[in-house]
Structure formats: C-alpha cells, structure tokens
Structure 1
Amino acid sequence: MVEVRRAETALEAVDLVKTYSAGRNKPPVPALRGLSFSAARGTVFGLLGPKGAGKSTTVKILSTLSAADSGSAHVAAIDVAAKPDRARQALGFVAQKPGTDPMQTATENLLLAGRIHGMSRRNAKARARELIDRFGLTDAANRRVDTYSGGMARKLDVALGLMHHPQVLFLDEPTTGLDPQARSEMWHEIARMVGEEQVTVLLTTHYLDEADHLADRLAIVDHGTVVAEGTPEELKSDLRGDAVHVDLAEADGRARAVLQRVPELREITMDGCTVRGRTDDGARALPPVPAALEDAGIAVTSATLARPSLDDVYLQHTGRSLEAAGDEDPKALEAAK
C-alpha cells in the first residue's frame, strides 16, 4: 500500500532533520526540524517562507545535493538517499544562482547538459533546439550567455533543468530579480509545463503573489518546519472575516492596547509601524479604528480593509508577517550553507 501511494506521489519528505555547524565553540544551527510534505504528480507545490526558513535546505536534500541527518525523501518514488543516481535522472534542478557557463552560448550550455545526462549528440541537439524555441531564445542561441539580460539568462537556467525530460523540476526562487514582464513570462512557462507535460514542480519562493498564483498546494515553512499546508484558497478561507491593516506615522506601543478596545476587532498584532486585526464586519469595524488611534494621539497614515491574504495566513501561524520574518534571516545559517 505504501509503495502504491508513493508511485502516485511525485515528491515526499518525511520528518527531515538537518543541522549545520556554526563553527568552533558555537552551538549548531538547526535548518530543518522534522519537515514533512508530499506533492502529487503534475502539480506545482510551493514552499513559502522567508530566507533562512529551510526552503533551500529542503530542496538540496530532495535533489541529492545534501544529506539529511534523519528522515526520508522520495522523488518519483525513488529514495534519494539509497539511490541518488536514479533520483538525479528523474529530477531537474534550477538553483537560485545561475547554472550556466557565461562564456558559452545557450546552445553550447544545453548540449553539454544533455551529454552529461547521457543523451546522444543527435537527441541533445534536437532537445536544445526545442527548448531554445520554447523559451524565445532563438535569436540569441549562438550568443554568449554573458550578453543576456537577467530574464533571458533565467529562462536558459530553466531550460537546462528541463533538458533531460525530468519528471520533477525544482525551482528555487526562480523569479528573484526579474522585471515584471520576465516574471510573467516565467509564470506562464511554469503553468504550461505542468499542464501540458505533467511535470511536477517544487517551487520555493518568498513572493506571496507568486505562491498564490502558481501553487496548486503549498506549505508555509517557519524555522525549519511546516506550520500550515493546503491550497492557497483553503489556507485563506480558514481565516474568518476581513483583515484590517493600519499604518502608523511612527511606531507606538500603545496602538495595540487602543485597538483592543474596539469591539469589532480581534487577533490584533503589531509589527513596527503596522497594526493588523481581523473583523467579521469590516463596514462597522474600519471607521472606529483611525478615530480611536487619533483620539489617543497616535497618528495614522492609512487604514485599509481586505480579504485574507497569504501574508495574513503566515501571520496567523507564526505571529509575524512574512516580510518581518525575512528580516530575521540568521547570518549563521547562511554562513553554514
């Protein structure tokens, strides 16, 4: 029964634990603390969290680039620790940093990748032409990669990951640094490869709109563990009511206590100059909010009402916004990596 389930599951992580050494006389830095999730074939599964949450470490373990201290991981029903060579044939990996040789052309980079994966020269050439056309790089196919724009170079990175027809593609922060047009094009290509080719994509991102738009399911990762999992709509629907968002002219610790006295508000949190709360009746709750703060001598720059967002979900499960969590990225962990 377990083997049948795994055959239907493209990705599976079970109780992954990973700790990095921080140096002599320093305590170890935990990166993963029993992280678990699974992803179905032909879907986009998102790992959402700030830098340092454990997303990249998870991808490295699943893609055989790192070993877990404990736990298990399967890609296309293959145990990555027991059979890493088979797992590598089943997966493609697009890291945050460029994977191309900037002194070679797109064609040369793709041909080399194909040959490394055991493709014949003829098949590698045909696949390279196919991917170059698909990603709109035909006119630049024989230009050196160091002449490419950021968006073009990122497209080539993804093409390299797809060169050997993988069943699973790991995309680690694929749109970081891209302009809006290049980002939109990347979103379109991800959706196309999943829908038409049934490639399973593991997407790590700290962009809320990207996770909301692309992920069929996602897991919110905080300090090396999954704190919530579901479809974006399921996660947002679990938050009853509307979100109230207040920006203060300057941070004032009294604001939370003032808003706790507004009857229609609940779950009030404060993060610097931003105060958030939830309400079942936005039309009644919003007008008293700025009035109560200003009566207390606290200047308000804006007060808005919105449907729940993934940032509200993150806040609900971690006690802080995703942006604030990103500011806590531990330097020790980055150094250890």
Structure 2
Amino acid sequence: MTGSEPAVDVRGLRKQYGDVTAVDGIDLAIRRGEVFGLLGPNGAGKTTTVEILQGHRSRDAGEVSVLGTDPARATRAWRSRVGIVWQDESAPAELTVRETVRHFARYYPRSRDPDEVIALVGLETKATSRIKALSGGQRRRLDVALGVIGGPELLLLDEPTTGFDPAARRRFWALIRSLAHDGTTILLTTHYLEEAEALADRLAVVARGRIVAEGTSGALRERHGTGATVEWTDPDGTPHTERTETPTRTVAGLMSRFDGEIPGLKVSRPTLEDVYLRLTGQEDGR
C-alpha cells in the first residue's frame, strides 16, 4: 500500500438484515496513522461496519479496501496486520493473564513483548492470576492486550473501555496515543464523547446506518452547534438564560446595564455532546 492510499477506503457500503437496513450507503476514508472515531447510538450500524472492515461479516453492496485488500478476500497474512477488540470478547477462564497473552502472541509474525503489553494495559500485578479471578474491567483490559499483541498496522476498537474505571481509561488513552505515535491506524467506536474528543483526529457521527456528519470535534461543534448560551443574574437575584447566535452582542448589551462586573456571567458554547445529540435525533431526550 502506498503512503498516499488510505488505510481504510469505503464507498457505498450497505448491509441488510431482513427488513432492517443496518448500513445504508456509508462512505469512509481513514488516513494511515490516523485515530478515527465512529460515534452513534446503539443500532446505528457502527459494529456492523467494523465487522465488515475486519472481514468477519459480508456486505450486500459497496467497495471496501482495508490496508489495500478487500476484507472479503482476506488472507491469513492480511489478518495478522489487523487487530480488533470486540465489545464482548473474553479469554479462556482457566488460563492466567500471562499464559493467555503469550499464547496469542504466537499467532503473529511480529508480535509485541507479552509482558510489555500486559504492563501497558495495567495488568502487571495480575499477570499470574487466572482469567476467572479477574473483575469485568480487568477482563476488558485483557481483551485490549490481545488486540494489540500482534503489533497491528490497523487496530479496530469497538467500545474498548466499557467497564474501565477512570484510572484504567486514562491509561488506555495513553496506550492509544503511543500506538498512534508509532504509526498505527486506529478506528475507535465509543459512547464516551470525552474519550472520542481526547483521542480522535477526526470523527464521524452515524445515525440510522448513514454518516450524518464528519470532521474534527471543533469543526463539528462549529458547523452543527446552535449558537451559545449566556447566563447572568440581575441585582435582585433573578437568574436569566438566553440562547443567542451573537453572544458578544448580548454581553455588550448587558455591560451597558450593569455598573462594573455582570453578576453570574457565563457564556457556554455547544459541546460535542450537544452536537451529537442533535445529529442523532436525541436532543429532546428520546
């Protein structure tokens, strides 16, 4: 694959399950070395898309190239270049953490050092523990270790930090940044918008099987946000909130009414969560 060729190139991807359209004409291009976030509610088509990219599921229509190969015709050599962490993966319960990671390392021609990977996911103190003795969050960390042990060129992460405590999630973020720095291309699906904003170079929002918006988090907020919110308090203690497309003008007007500081002044721009809920039709709490 040439340096200018995308790591993932998808055109017109479609997948139907009976009368249900899971993926409805997705176009997607992910650059090599990029961390790309795929956001959307449950049932939006994210996992189906990831399964097709990995070669785990067939497609009904569209063109797909992953690391220069159609996943539907993937070879064993191609599969060794792609790592994946599924939502519900779990390793054999009777093996220890170290035994499991070392076992999976043998499947890959250029695997990483098992003890290094165990430490990267924060399981060094559990290396000799059996899988059945791990907590749910610790098992999830092991799933991540198995996804990266092969030193993949492309890493597909389907909601990888579900069940992580805050410290483990931050350690995982550091791992992803390290992998990206070393040139690994990463596709991440997550319900944690803070995580997506912290890690992803670009984001795509999926709703009803289609990509409804794509870009950096800042571009999405600017393009799809709905103005700003200005809050202040009158001298008699009455609070006020105003939605406006011209917050600077609103604040200037308030300055002419107050002698000095404006009590309780707060100007809030739309967050990524605000934009996400609007784009996916959940803004009213549905």
* Common fold: TM-score over 0.5: yes
Q: Contact conserved, 1:75 with 1:91, CA < 8 A, in 2?
A: no
> Structure 2: where are the runs of 5+ without partners?
232-240, 255-265
Q: Alignment partner for residue 154 of structure 2, among 161, 168, 172? A: 168
1 CA distance for matches of 2:152 and 2:200?
19
Matched, 1:237 2:222: yes
State the distance in 1 between where 2:147 and 2:6 align: 20
Check conservation: 1:90, 1:166, Cα contact below 8 A: yes
Correspondent of 2:163 among 177, 186, 208: 177
Is 1:68 aligned to residue 30 of structure 2? no
How far apart in 1 are the matches of 2:204 and 2:72? 23
Matched to 1:192, the amino acid is: S
The structure 1 residue matched to 2:247, chosen from 252, 273, 281, is: 281
Distance in 2 (alpha carbons) for counterparts of 1:20 and 1:241:
36
Of 255, 270, 273 in structure 2, the residue corresponding to residue 311 of structure 1 is: 273
Q: Distance in 1 between matches of 2:131 and 2:67?
A: 32
Q: Structure 1: which amino acid aligns with 2:207? A: D
Q: CA deviation at 1:92?
A: 0.4
SS state at 2:56 partner: coil
Q: What are the residue-to-residue correspondences of 1:1-337 with 2, within 5 Å?
A: 4=2, 8-21=5-18, 28-117=19-108, 119=109, 127-195=113-181, 197-239=182-224, 242-244=227-229, 278-281=244-247, 284=250, 305-321=267-283, 324=285
Q: Secondary structure at the match of 2:91?
A: coil
Deviation at 1:51, TM superposition (A): 0.8
SS at match of 1:8: coil
Any stretches of 5+ residues in structure 1 without a counterpart?
22-27, 247-263, 266-276, 289-303, 328-337
2:113 partner SS = helix
Indicate conservation of the 8 Å contact 2:13/2:25, yes or no: yes
* Greater per-residue helix proportion: 1
1:241 shift after superposition: 6.5
AA of the residue aligned to 1:176: T
AA aligned to 1:317 is L
- Superposed CA deviations along residues 17-64 of structure 1, whole A, max 9, x for unmatched, are 00113xxxxxx1110000111111112100011111111011000011
After TM superposition, which residue ranges in structure 1, 4 or more long, deviate above 4 angstroms?
none
Cα distance 1:314–1:128, how it changes in 2: closer, same or farther (>3 A)?
A: same
1:79, distance to aligned residue in structure 2 (A): 1.4
Distance 1:130-1:177 versus aligned 2 partners, 3 A rule:
closer
CA gap of 1:128–1:227, structure 2 versus 1, over 3 A, is same
Q: Distance in 1 between matches of 2:75 and 2:213?
A: 29
CA contact (8 A) 2:12 2:27 kept: yes
Q: Provide the TM-score with structure 1 as the length reference.
A: 0.71
